[in-house]
Amino acid sequence: MKLSARNILPGKITAIKKGPISSLITIEIAPGVSISASVTTSAATELKLKKGMTASAVIKASSVMVGVE
């Protein structure tokens, strides 16, 4: 598979929290460093996502927002 996105972070799925509409997938991309993504539950099922499997976080965005208090 080829993608136009240049921010591809490979890792392992460490947690999956399934909901009726969306699921939260957590991928450890380095020791102690994780990133989470919200995907539709149907997509998680179709991709057969399971804890411990290899996966990549693919980030494609025109802007990134940062907030502080």
Domains of the chain, earliest start first:
7-59 (2.40.50.100)
Distance CA 25, CA 15 (A): 6
Question: Mind listing the pLDDT tens digit of every residue in the chain (69 residues)?
Answer: 788 878 899 999 999 999 999 999 999 999 999 999 999 999 999 999 999 999 999 988 777 778 899
Rounded-to-integer distance, Cα 19 and Cα 7, Å: 27
Please report which residue ranges of the chain form alpha helices under DSSP H.
Answer: 41-46
Q: DSSP letter for 43, please.
A: H
